[in-house]
Amino acid sequence: MELRDYVRVLRRSWTIMIAGVVLGGLLAAMATWRTTKEYAASVTMVVSSPDRGAGAASAYQGGLLSQQRVKSYADLVASERVATAVIARLHLHATPEALRAQISAHAVPDTVLLQAVVRDSDPRRAMIIADAVGETFSTTIAKIETPSADEPPSVRVTVWEHAKLPVSPVSPQPIRNLALGALLGLIVGSAAGIVRYRLDTSVSSEDDARETTELPNLAVIGYDGAADRHPLIINAKPRSARAEAFRQLRTNLQFVEVDTGPRSILVSSAVPGEGKTTVACNLAITLAQGGARVCLIEGDLRRPSFGEYLGVESAAGLTSVLIGAADLDDVLQPWGEGRVGEGRVEVLASGPIPPNPSELLGSKGMAGLINLLSARFDILLVDAPPLLPVTDAAVLATRVEGVLLVTRAGRTRREHLRRAVEALRAVDARMIGTVLNMVPVKGPDAYDYGPGDGYVSRGRHARTSSPRTLEIPAPDSGVRPAWPVTSPPSLPSPAPSSPAPASPASAVTPVPAATARLGIADGGDESSSARDPLPDGATTVPSATTVPSATTVPSAMTVPSATTVPSGGPHVRVPAARGSAEEIISVGGRTPRGTDPAGGTTPDDNGATRPPSSP
């Protein structure tokens, strides 16, 4: 682990660390409250040597002798001999060992001072015992250092400062104890967080998913507590960060082997409860909003939930078709508003729950049904059961062109995900990638666009624009969606000798000067502008300005007044998206030279006429 990994782990474990600090502080407070208060009284003694002669040499030798004695006397203050004498002197009800534990002494460095400290639960008793220790020790040293009765002692110990009555206890110290307890709790909590991370086997990040599966992660979808009540976030909150994550998934799917991208995709997970059905439903709606025709099949014949999520009828469906009890067209259920110009979603519910789901899903009839629907729709999505509990998903994986694995952040075990990948590889299934679902939106592992970043509209931070009118071609106009990449349908070309009239889709609709409308001209690719030269003063708009096919645009919006070009201004040719017809903006009520609203020919500036551009 690197330093940033430890920082991330500690940020994830902040609750454990706070709990450790609180617990350590509480334990320290309890220990402080239960500890008996102790008071300390000290007595200061001075060690001296009597003068045995005149002169500086004699005084110097006496000072050296006193300093040497001080170091030894510090150990003798708490001796058993002194303690016994103090007990006898004060008539204490204590043993010498107990009293010795209350006495401590130390020599003041580079001096001849000796300090004795007595600790006791009673402050007055501590003062009395300290004074008694000083007097008793002085008497004891005088006896030890006196060579004979006729000679004075070589070293004397004199009480220099008597003990004073202590006011505040020296133990316990609440502030110090609380600080030490909190620090110890913080250390223990941090260690527990690191150990927890080491022992955690769940998939919690994109790196975990990639390392476990060796597959690319196509999207990270944030956690939404209201997903149980509003699973279709694309409809409930289309401008939320979670809805944007599904659009990112749609975009990433477009670039999975662009030339041979999968047209039939199985959505599954390792274990139940990872959100595969929610992902499948929202992905289908997102693809349809991008202009694709989507068929959503409920392949989970054990625990069907489309009726709850999508509100479709589940009495007849997939199983009815497979056993021949119903026709396919009779059980396909259109879902959504189905507005003109958008893709559509058709749902094939599970139907009656069969006793043998695996055999039914692995039958030749299921394979033929998938092939049929793949040919009729742009994208076929199959919501399958989890891979590990049953074999249904593995059986279905052999019938589709790609498998999308959904993993739940912080819940899916790496071992479970690894076994799911092995189950798919065992049947030689083609795995597209993974989707990390229910990622925390707050904390160190958060993945979300925040307010004010310009990507997701949040309340008053959202940008608003003036409405504009945008005409989107109807499904029968020959315009194909931009995803998946398919060849546009060929349009009939007029004969050179007798030009055919332009189709209604190619006619340019003149509008008043105050507004501008976007129409569809015949053609089919960006090269049509080269075959139909622009008139003088016309401007070619780069293809980057083309409205993306993944963006849902209202069917009637008014162009902002700021973009209105005065009457007589130039017209602009806008290259359309791949697979759609060329779009021409007619400004100021004028039509391009060489065309008229009826699709015929008009004179140019030189008075000559020319037929409309061929596709």
Residue 245 lies in a domain: yes
Tens-digit pLDDT profile for residues 29-63 = 999 999 999 999 999 999 887 765 555 555 566 66
Tens-digit pLDDT profile for residues 91-124 = 999 999 999 999 999 998 888 899 999 999 999 9
Q: Do 10 and 110 have their domain in common?
A: no
Range of the domain at 235: 206-461
pLDDT of residue 575: 36
Do 163 and 127 form a contact (C-beta atoms < 8 A)?
A: yes
Last residue of a domain, one of 412, 441, 461: 461
Report the C-alpha gap between 228 and 347 in whole angstroms. Answer: 20
Q: Do 581 and 490 have their domain in common?
A: yes
Last residue of a domain, one of 461, 481, 500: 461
Residue 275 lies in a domain: yes
pLDDT of residue 6: 78
Report the C-alpha gap between 18 and 172 in whole angstroms. Answer: 25
Q: Do 279 and 409 have their domain in common?
A: yes
User: Does the pLDDT at position 518 exceed 90?
Assistant: no
Q: Do 427 and 297 have their domain in common?
A: yes
Provide the H-helix boundaries in 154-295: 174-199, 206-213, 233-236, 241-254, 276-289
Last residue of a domain, one of 461, 495, 515: 461
Q: Do 152 and 183 have their domain in common?
A: no
Q: Do 218 and 334 have their domain in common?
A: yes
Report the C-alpha gap between 153 and 49 in whole angstroms. Answer: 8
pLDDT of residue 508: 34
Report the C-alpha gap between 403 and 398 in whole angstroms. Answer: 9
Q: Do 599 and 507 have their domain in common?
A: yes
Q: Do 192 and 212 have their domain in common?
A: no
Paired tokens of 442 = 């707050």
Q: Do 230 and 341 have their domain in common?
A: yes
Closest CA to 178 of 32, 66, 348: 32
Query: Which residue spans within 129-172 are E strands per DSSP?
Result: 156-161
**How deeply is 413 buried, as exposed, middle or buried, from its count of CB atoms within 10 A (0-12, 13-18, 19+)?**
middle
Strand order in the sheet with 103-107: 103-107, 113-120, 39-48, 156-161
What is the percent of the chain where pLDDT is above 70? 67
Q: Do 75 and 176 have their domain in common?
A: no
pLDDT of residue 10: 83
Do 118 and 133 form a contact (C-beta atoms < 8 A)?
A: yes
The total number of structural domains in the chain stands at 4
Tens-digit pLDDT profile for residues 481-503 = 434 434 333 334 334 434 444 43
User: Bridge partners of 431?
Assistant: 403
Greater confidence (235 vs 553) lies with: 235
Residue 271 lies in a domain: yes
Do 277 and 386 form a contact (C-beta atoms < 8 A)?
A: no
User: Does the pLDDT at position 176 exceed 80?
Assistant: yes
Report the C-alpha gap between 71 and 52 in whole angstroms. Answer: 22
Residue 133 lies in a domain: yes
Q: Do 475 and 529 have their domain in common?
A: yes
Sign of the C-alpha dihedral, residues 523, 529, 532, 537? positive
Return the SS3 of 518: strand
Paired tokens of 563 = 């973009």
User: Bridge partners of 583?
Assistant: 520, 574
Q: Name, in order, each residue with C-beta under 8 angstroms of 88's C-beta and a sequence gap of 6 or more.
A: none
Residue 185 lies in a domain: yes
Residue 167 lies in a domain: no
Q: Do 63 and 26 have their domain in common?
A: no
Place of tokens 């009839």: 365
Residue 319 lies in a domain: yes
Tens-digit pLDDT profile for residues 275-284 = 999 999 999 9
Residue 141 sits in a domain of what CATH number?
A: 3.30.70.1130
Residue 557 lies in a domain: yes
CA distances 190 to 12, 20, 198, Å, are: 10, 8, 12
Tens-digit pLDDT profile for residues 439-461 = 887 755 555 444 334 444 333 33
